[in-house]
Amino acid sequence: MKLVTFFMLSFLCCQASAVSKQEGQTATFHAKTTGHVSSYHWNFTQNNETEEIIRVEGGIIKFKGTRFEDRLQTNVKNASITISKLNLNDSGTFEGFISTDRGHFRHNVSLSVTGSDPLTYSCQLGHDVTLKSGLQTTEMGHSANWTNGSGFNGKEIASFQNSVVRYGDGFNNFFLNKTNLDLTIIQVTNNQSGFYCSEIKLNQCHQISLKHQVKVYDPVSTPNIIKVPQPARRFCAAKCSVKNGPDLNLTWYYGDIIISNISNPNTSILTLQIEIQREDISNYSCRAQNPVSLEMTPLSSVWHPCHSSTTSAAPTETRNHELQNLASCQDADGHLLENLEGRNYGSANPTNQT
């Protein structure tokens, strides 16, 4: 009987598990042991290299490595460890060796950390933008830390603790709301585009971590329309152009239906040309749009007939011949021009309507 008892106490139990987390989150690894913990240590393995990260004996921390710095916490009563503010380089294997009055245990955890998609904010230059903390209202014991950068260890913007807000140097146009810990950038500038991170704790325990991306856009310019006469036909071309910018689209509309559009980040001026029937000029407009602003120029506001108003209508057969030829015409850039005559606008399913 004593031999059996000794064997049970000396048995090395191995428990393995896999954990998947997103960047910025917190992971806690429980030893899942029974009995009183006398000593334990945890190792971390990555790329076949193993290092000891913490060792505890008799409830006292004897060794704590520097790999995770102050992001590593431990509970000496149950031998668990917690890693906060996870980053992609924290992926690896954690192995705990725990000794109790009931035996020796080994716990193995495989951790995979993936990148988290940031909350994206598109705002206009000079306007205010508020980054959401994810918290509805603060409670006693809440603290917060906002940083600038793609990782959670970036430059500190603002912190909140014991109902006191402190701001980092160089962030004069930032405001931290004490009620919900949202962060507002007042009259945002172009150089404040980029990534921000927020971490909320309650009584020093991690609660919410979020990544944010701010995109600042200049307001779009008003599109300019010029006429390109084609005297040999009853049609003439209209060319629309606008100063280019990030995520800018230039679009010709017939009513609310898209005729054609263009977007090209590699040019300073966007230009888009179509052929126009003078009978339809009141329905055409050219619109320039980015995620925060839109400008439109109606064709009728700048248009004059291509030909004299005394020009009579072409016979039906001549008209049909012109329409057939139009389908194979090319614009100044060598692109095929679309035959707008006969388009069934009622059945179209337009996108990007304004």
pLDDT digits (tens, 9 = 90+) for 173-232: 999 999 999 999 999 999 999 999 999 988 877 778 899 999 999 999 999 999 887 666
10-114 matches 119-217 in fold: yes
What are residue 65's phi and psi, to 5 degrees? -70, 175
pTM: 0.63
- The conformation of residue 308, written as its DSSP 8-state character, comes to -
* Residue 50 near residue 65 (C-beta atoms within 8 A): no
Q: Shortest CA distance to 53 belongs to which of 62, 64, 69, 39?
A: 64
Q: Which residue has the higher pLDDT, 352 or 132?
A: 132
pLDDT for residue 343: 34
Domain ranges within the chain, ordered by starting residue: 10-114, 119-217, 224-343
Whether 24 shows a pLDDT value over 90: the answer reads no
- Alpha-carbon span 41 to 54, nearest angstrom: 6
Alpha carbons within 13 A on the beta-carbon side of 171: 20
Count of residues making up the chain: 354
Look at the domain 119-217 and name its fold: Immunoglobulin-like (2.60.40)
Instruction: Assess if CATH 2.60.40.10 describes domain 224-343.
Output: yes
Specify the residue for token string 């245990």.
105
CA 92/CA 88 separation, integer angstroms: 10
Architecture of domain 10-114: Sandwich (2.60)
User: Is a pLDDT exceeding 60 seen at residue 322?
Assistant: no
Q: List the strands of the sheet with 183-185, edge to edge.
A: 129-131, 183-185, 174-176
pLDDT-wise least confident of 26-35, 75-84, 112-121, 304-313: 304-313
Looking at every residue in the chain, the average pLDDT score rounds to: 81
The pair of structure tokens assigned to 163 is 């109902």
In the chain, % of residues over pLDDT 90? 58
Residue 59, pLDDT score: 92
Per-residue pLDDT for 318 more than 80?
no
